Amino acid sequence: MEEIRFRPIGVVHSPFKEPFSGAPKTPSERRDYQGTIEIYPEFKDGLRDLDGFSHIIVIFYFHKAKYSGLIVKPYLDDNYKGVFATRFPNRPNLVGSSVVQLLEINGNILNIKGLDMIEGSPVIDIKPYIPEFKSDDKIRIGWLEGKV
């Protein structure tokens, strides 16, 4: 299989400096934390019209994580789970995603709320968050039911 390479489009600026030491791990824990995403100047034009969205999906690289296997012990459970059933950062490809509130855009700086990324996380991509579910859809959250 061929290697996949990404070029970061920006970087996260966060009050959280290290994984597992104070960075929020659940949606309710991260709700009020704010930070910024600095988009590199050559990608600034890609922000056009993004200000019309209240939330964005940030795809980033877990730059301080290390792959630790396919079975992990997640933060909210004492039982081991498959890594793909968790948001555990030590993944085969060290890629993360977060939905955050977009507060405002100032030039190439995105002010965001709902932060769970650590300082210096390379941003791979940003997409507008568009809810895809209807209110009558039955959404299940697996082993996390009742924990978040």
Q: Quick: pLDDT tens for 4-38.
A: 999 999 999 999 887 766 666 566 666 778 999 99
Percentage of the residues of the chain whose pLDDT score is greater than 70: 84
Which CATH architecture does the domain made up of 10-132 adopt? Beta Barrel (2.40)
Question: How much is the pLDDT for 108?
Answer: 98
Structure tokens at 53: 């969205």
Q: Quick: pLDDT tens for 76-130.
A: 788 999 999 988 888 999 999 999 999 999 999 999 999 989 999 999 999 999 8
Predicted TM-score of the model (pTM): 0.84
Residue length, the chain? 148
Comparing C-alpha atoms, which of 63, 44, 67 is closest to residue 126?
Answer: 44
Q: Quick: pLDDT tens for 37-74.
A: 999 999 999 999 999 999 999 999 999 988 889 999 88
DSSP summary character for residue 79: S
Structure tokens at 29: 């824990």
What are the CA-CA distances from residue 28 to residues 33, 64, 80, 125, 137 (Å)?
10, 23, 23, 24, 22
Ordered by start, the domain boundaries in the chain are 10-132
